[in-house]
């Protein structure tokens, strides 16, 4: 079983990695996908070498993936095996074994889901107009066009991008698992036991997730707890 249907350590063939925040181009960075094919073997055919060592061949396969996604209504792979539908992946060779050679090498390296994603945001500072003095709207931008008495003034704006990683929190001891270790063996009397207070000892500790104080002291959460952390952050101009 994978965490929330995601897989760690693989290349997400649905991922669209942009160059940098300083460019307006939507050109994708092809290196991660091309790297999947580099030095891979597929049967020698007229149009391609047996070993994919040259940039032109790997780029062709990358472009074939991009074209396939562009022509598909959902613009994403639903499952990893769908890559077989891409031109050049599993259609070269004289036999079924040869046609599947490249796919066998890719099978353990690709996924369609991941735990890392980007978030774009924008924040503004707003100066309220004196005429817009309804206490219920103090945190809301108002304008004449929307029926307010006057236009509020936007005094500043900042845009940003953050790369967020979703991960399983194993507890404060950093050890994944939820069994007792007293005496060096599991205890059936405590497996699945319920407690409402984070325990300072290494035992079953199914703390109440609605209480942040107790829950953050948990050594062995009784269920998988998903947390999020920022792994990269940048302001955008």
pLDDT tens digits for 147-205?
999 999 999 999 999 999 988 777 766 666 555 444 444 445 544 444 334 444 444 45
β-strands 225-236, 110-111 pairing: unpaired
Among residues 154, 84, 148, 104, which one has the least CA distance to residue 126? Answer: 154
Among residues 104, 100, 112, which one has the least CA distance to residue 69? Answer: 112
pTM, rounded to two decimals: 0.52
- Tens of pLDDT, residue by residue, the chain (237 residues): 344 555 567 888 887 654 444 444 445 567 888 888 888 877 655 444 455 666 777 888 888 888 888 888 888 899 999 999 998 888 877 788 888 888 888 888 898 887 888 899 999 999 999 999 999 998 889 999 999 999 999 999 999 999 999 887 777 666 665 554 444 444 455 444 443 344 444 444 555 555 556 566 666 666 567 789 999 999 998
Could you give the CA distance from residue 6 to residue 110 in angstroms, rounded to a whole number?
A: 11
List the beta bridge partners of residue 58. Answer: none
Residues making up the chain, counted from first to last? 237
3-state secondary structure of 70: helix
């Amino acid at each position: 079983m994978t965490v929330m249907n995601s897989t760690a350590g693989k290349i997400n063939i649905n991922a669209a990695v942009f160059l940098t925040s300083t460019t307006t181009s939507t050109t994708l960075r092809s290196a991660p996908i091309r790297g999947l094919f580099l030095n891979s073997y597929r049967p020698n055919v007229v149009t391609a070498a047996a070993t994919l060592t040259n940039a032109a061949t790997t780029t062709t396969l990358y472009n074939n993936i991009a074209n396939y996604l562009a022509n598909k209504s959902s613009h994403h792979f639903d499952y990893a095996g769908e890559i077989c539908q891409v031109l050049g992946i599993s259609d070269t060779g004289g036999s079924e074994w040869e046609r599947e050679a490249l796919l066998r090498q890719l099978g353990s390296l690709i996924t369609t889901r991941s735990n890392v994603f980007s978030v774009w945001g924008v924040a503004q500072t707003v100066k309220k107009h004196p005429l817009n003095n309804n206490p219920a709207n103090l945190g809301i931008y108002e304008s004449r066009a929307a029926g307010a008495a006057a236009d509020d003034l936007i005094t500043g704006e900042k845009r940003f991008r953050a790369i967020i990683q979703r991960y399983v929190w194993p507890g404060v001891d950093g050890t994944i698992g939820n069994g007792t270790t007293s005496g060096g063996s599991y205890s059936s009397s405590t497996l699945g036991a319920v407690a409402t207070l984070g325990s300072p000892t290494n035992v079953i500790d199914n703390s109440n997730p609605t209480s942040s104080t107790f829950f953050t002291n948990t050594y062995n959460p009784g269920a998988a707890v998903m947390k999020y952390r920022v792994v990269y952050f940048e302001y955008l101009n």
